[in-house]
Amino acid sequence: MTNISYLEPLPKSPTGIKGLDEITYGGLPKGRPTLLVGGAGSGKTMLAMEFLVRGATQFDEPGVFVSFQETSKDLAANFASRGYNLNELIAEKKLYIDHVHIERSEIEETGEYDLEGLFIRLAHAVKVTGAKRVVLDTIEALFAGLTNTAILRAELRRLFAWLKDRDLTAIITGERGDTTLTRYGLEEYVADCVIVLDNRVVDQISTRRLRILKYRGSQHGTNEYPFLIENTGITVLPITSIGLNHDALTERISTGIERLDNMFEGKGYYRGSSVLISGTAGTGKSSIAAAFVDAACRRGERALYFAFEESPSQIIRNMRSIGMDLQEHVDNGCLTFHASRPTATGLETHLAQMFKIVMDVMPSVLVVDPISNLIAAGNISEVKSMLTRLVDFLKTNHTTTIFTSLTSGGDSLEQTEVGMSSLMDTWIVLRDVERGGERNREIHVLKSRGMSHSNQLREFVFTPQGIDLLDVYTGPAGMLTGTARVAQEAKEKAETLSRQQEIERKKRELERKRKALQAQVEALCAEMGTAEAELDVLLTEEKSRLSLLADEEVRMGKLRGADVSSRVDNISKKDYQEESK
């Protein structure tokens, strides 16, 4: 057996920045410099400063910020808006900001020099604070301020060695170059860990992204991750497709509309499933989504509503008109709205924001209204990739989600603009049917995985009490809606009435007939009785006549002395037997 001795893994210095520690598997390389590259306004200074502030406040590692651009005062003012009180940290000696100002026009170079002055300043700052972390932002300013690049390069090499010797975890920021990674080739010196920040603008919408280009001696996430700069600091969101291994729940959750539940085996959607409601403009997508939210809030579940089209107050007002008081849910904290214009940020930023809010709110039901609007912020393939990741994420969290999607006029109803139907477990299609000079709303379930759903097209109406699905009336021309349905209803009512009257009439006639027959039967019975009575009389008479005859015969026989009794006996015996029967 071979013995593999496991060395201590690379020690790391946690940044405390949400998400960044995850993709770097613990933070930046401890005691080594990290190069942070990005264009102007990509958030280098922000990230670097957050590294120091969090180091000082969360990890008890004081830091030195050497700024080659902004003065200490400017920095403090800028970061005050992020909620960082730099001056307080400086007063507590947890942070030291040294502004190094180099202006070429103020400097004449003659002969040999070195950058010992910078080293001394840095050493002084490190000594004063006991710093473990250093940021040099942006050291390339030296190249702009000094002309002798040979000296500069030698000194930079010495500087990075110096930082390493002192076991300082450093972030060196650098401007992105055209042909090289950084404008002045800083990557030559700092090669342990390189992080690239990017603020890309596509169709006038910018998205911030972060990527770890290399990380010697450590595994790291290799993708481009969107990140947010918010007033709580930086959040990097490692949003990648989580994969298809989420649990499928069997619990069912009401749609909020009783008769719509009936279309789903009377139970509604599966919990944790993704539901798509698509339809043309004005078919009631938002209302059906709102009904779901309303029902969830009534059950005491948390709901989150991403509105990309209407403002929360507008949604609340509109839903009040159909009997849903969402304001009440907002007030008691069940419902959270988050409204933003799709064009306000890039797709990735939207996604990142949505992830963050979902993680903050942890809703059990979620509405994205409408998802189709996000196309304005990106192209279809981007939207699809975003949705895949969003759906995966939500399914893993067991969040039941309703996405609404606007189908534009000319498109087929059964095709979503985003082409995302395959991601969805349940798809409800709403449509406007024009017939008989009016438009009526119809709803049907196009698909619903894992349950036997109704295949019936249903008409639904908005009433001040809510949404109601109506009974189905099918006529010769298909399903009847609107006034045609009302006419059909009236017709059916009339038909029912006349049918009932007919039955009544038939019933009466039958009764009469029955009574007549009964009378007849009674008459016959009476007749029968009379006949029977007559027969009895006859029989009795006959019997007495026979016995009389027999007696006479016996008497005559006696008189004649002949034996004839046996004949009379036989006759009388036979008569008695019949009588007794």
Partner 1 sequence: MSNEQTKSKGATHEAREAKWTLRLYVAGQTPKSLAAFENLKKIAEEHLQGEYTIEIIDLLENPQLAEGDQIVAIPTLVRKLPEPVKKIIGDLSNTERVLVGLDIIPSKRKQC
Residues forming contacts to partner 1 in the complex (CB under 8 A) are 98, 100-102, 106-118, 120-121, 123-124, 142, 145-146
Closest distance of CB 118 from partner 1, Å:
5
| Closest distance of CB 173 from partner 1, Å | 17
Which token pair is 53? Answer: 């502030």
DSSP string, 192-261: SEEEEEEEEEETTEEEEEEEEEEETTS----SEEEEEEETTEEEE-------S-PPPP--EE--S-HHHH
In which residue are the tokens 């579940």 written?
Answer: 301
d(CA 257, CA 371): 22
Task: State in angstroms the smallest separation of the CB of 121 from partner 1.
Answer: 5
CB of 142 to partner 1, least distance (A): 7
- Gyration radius of the chain's alpha carbons: 48
Residue number, 116 or 502, with CB nearest to partner 1: 116
Smaller CB separation from partner 1, 147 or 241: 147
Whether the bond into 370 is cis, omega within 30 of 0: yes
Tokens representing residue 107 in the block: 């400097």
To partner 1, the closest distance from the beta carbon of 52 in angstroms equals: 18
Six-digit token string for 164: 């390493």
Sign of the dihedral through C-alpha 562, 566, 571, 572: positive
Write down the least CB distance from residue 177 to partner 1, Å: 21
For residue 97, give the nearest of 134, 142, 61 by alpha carbon. 134
CA 166 to chain centre: 51
Nearer to partner 1, 160 or 337 (CB): 160
Of 10 and 123, the one with the shorter C-beta distance to partner 1 is 123
Separation of alpha carbons 278 and 284, rounded Å: 10
> What is the nearest approach in angstroms of partner 1 to the Cβ of residue 152?
10
Q: Which is nearer to partner 1, 146 or 472 (CB)?
A: 146
Contact (CB, 8 A) for 42 and 17: no
How far is C-alpha 263 from the geometric centre of its chain's CA atoms?
20
Amino acid at 109: E
CB of 105 to partner 1, least distance (A): 8
Q: Are 109 and 148 in contact (CB under 8 A)?
A: yes
Pick the closer one to partner 1 by CB: 120 or 535.
120
Place of tokens 């910020």: 65
CB of 84 to partner 1, least distance (A): 22
Question: Closer to partner 1 at the Cβ: 159 or 260?
Answer: 159
Q: In the structure encoding, which two tokens stand for residue 364, read together?
A: 């059990």
The distance of closest approach from Cβ of residue 34 to partner 1 in the complex, given in angstroms and rounded to an integer, is 23
CB nearer partner 1, residue 142 or residue 276: 142
**Whole-number Å distance between alpha carbons of 202 and 379:** 10
**What's the token pair of residue 329?**
């849910």
For residues 292 and 365, the answer to whether their CB atoms sit within 8 Å is yes
Query: Mapping DSSP to helix (H, G, I), strand (E, B) and coil, where does residue 530 land?
Result: helix
Compare residues 112 and 563 and give the one whose CB is closer to partner 1.
112
Measured from the CB atom, is 65 or 305 closer to partner 1? Answer: 65
User: DSSP 3-state assignment of 13?
Assistant: strand
